[in-house]
Structure 1
Amino acid sequence: MIPTPSYAHLSREDFKDVYEPAVYLCTDLNPHATRCTRLTGLSNSIPLNPVLTDLTSALLPRLERSVDVLVFNPPYVETEDDEAEMAQEGGVIERAWAGGKGGMRVTDRLLEQVESLLSDRGLFYLVAVPENKPLEIIEQMQARGLHGEASDWTVN
């Protein structure tokens, strides 16, 4: 079990631009998120070197068929596509949640890559909400030869 990291080294100001980081090999399009992730790793004696990139683009083809666990927390809130596009270009906190039509604008792009990223024993975890139609996502992944299931977690 990986312990919950300490965030004492970050200020309230830092969290205006990012979600709290909790990753090992990580990428993000948001430079504030990569900085906070690196600092969180240092503060918890975990050497992290977050990569500032769009999804996995800076790591291909090196990552092909070598990812054992892929965890993706995309911008999944359903918004107008133009709102999602402005958020992704604007470098604001909205880029972390504005997901466009069906909340799937960024998720759809990663789903196209999952099969080529996962190792033979690889697992893929995706954070989604009902508006993202998780069962349809699973069907898409099954069409690519992968197996999937939905978990209904509720945090109280």
Structure 2
Amino acid sequence: MPDFPTPDLSHLTRADFRNVYEPAEDTFLLLDAIEEHPRIALDDDRQRDRDWPSVCLEIGSGSGCVSTFVAKVVGRSNALFLTTDVNPHAARATRRTGEKNEVTLDPVVMDLASALLPRLRRSVDLLIFNPPYVPTESAEVASPSNLPAPLFSISASWAGGVDGREVLDRFLPYADELLAPGGVFLMVLLEDNAPEEIITEVRDRWGWTGRRVKERRAGRERLVIVQFVRGADVHVG
């Protein structure tokens, strides 16, 4: 299996990163999980015959590093790589990062996935979310009740509210609407976000299988990548 380099972000400046989340340990842990994933990263022989994923969606794309990496790993020009971010600076950075690395990304400015339904209902094969997971006051969280005030605040990229779960908990119903039968959902959590509780909750609500696929200590925090897989026998009608 080939090694894939981290996307080139040399076009982004310190000024850009005053308004856009700069790739950090959580980003690189997610890249490692993607590169090691048996369905995403294939060897050359299997790559030629692949037809999955057809639709990839990243929520909160920030610099565009992750979706650019996914597009490189998937290696199919006929796949769709969609991204959303509540921050217009991030959407512009995502588009520029795709262009810099010669992949096509389609960034959209929106809150989570609010404008993608019902058009993409049960159509997303690969769903990725590195949510704002740091426990904070609720007032710091970007949400429909306090937009547009946090749109240009970098704190919206990491402020997760109570238990670091407010944005994630608000997104999970969207995930159920978006993820295709057999689809894969990768997300980043802190150990403090109670990953096992989330895995159990999602299993009980929708019957998805969930597990930790990668983890790493970063300073005082422990980062965890959780994978969910939706069953292939879900009615899409």
Same fold at TM > 0.5: yes
Local SS of the residue matching 2:207: coil
- Paired residues of 1:17 and 1:32 also in contact (CA < 8 A): yes
Q: 1:76 is matched with which residue?
A: 133
Long gaps (5+) in structure 2: 22-62, 68-80, 219-237
In 2 relative to 1, CA 2–68 (structure 1 residues): closer, same or farther, beyond 3 Å?
farther
Q: CA deviation at 1:88?
A: 7.2
Tell whether 2:207 aligns with 1:145. Answer: yes
Counterpart CA distance in 1 for 2:148 and 2:170 is 14
TM-score computed with the length of structure 1 as normaliser: 0.91
- Paired residues of 1:27 and 1:55 also in contact (CA < 8 A): yes
Counterpart CA distance in 1 for 2:110 and 2:116 is 9
* Matching residue's letter, 1:78: P
Kindly indicate which of the two structures has a greater share of residues assigned to strand.
2
Q: CA deviation at 1:89?
A: 2.9
Q: Runs of 4+ in structure 1 displaced over 6 angstroms?
A: none
Local SS of the residue matching 1:99: strand
Kindly indicate which of the two structures has a greater share of residues assigned to helix.
1
TM-score computed with the length of structure 2 as normaliser: 0.61
Q: Give the root-mean-square deviation of aligned CA atoms.
A: 1.9
- Paired residues of 1:87 and 1:98 also in contact (CA < 8 A): no
Matches within 5 A, 1:48-59: 48-59=105-116
* Matching residue's letter, 1:107: L
Greater CA radius of gyration, 1 or 2?
Answer: 2
Q: CA deviation at 1:2?
A: 5.0
Q: 2:154 is matched with which residue?
A: 93
Instruction: Count matched residues.
Output: 156
Local SS of the residue matching 1:150: strand
Counterpart CA distance in 1 for 2:176 and 2:4 is 26
Counterpart CA distance in 1 for 2:119 and 2:126 is 15
Q: 1:126 is matched with which residue?
A: 187
Long gaps (5+) in structure 1: none
* Matching residue's letter, 1:83: E
Q: 1:113 is matched with which residue?
A: 174
Match of 1:21 among 64, 82, 91: 64
Counterpart CA distance in 2 for 1:119 and 1:138 is 18
Q: CA deviation at 1:152?
A: 4.4
Q: 1:103 is matched with which residue?
A: 164
- Paired residues of 1:115 and 1:146 also in contact (CA < 8 A): no
Local SS of the residue matching 2:141: helix
Of the structure 1 ranges 58-67 and 1-10, higher mean CA displacement relative to structure 2 is found in 1-10
* Matching residue's letter, 2:173: E
Match of 1:9 among 5, 8, 11: 11
- Paired residues of 2:141 and 2:167 also in contact (CA < 8 A): no
* Matching residue's letter, 1:63: L
- Paired residues of 2:140 and 2:156 also in contact (CA < 8 A): no
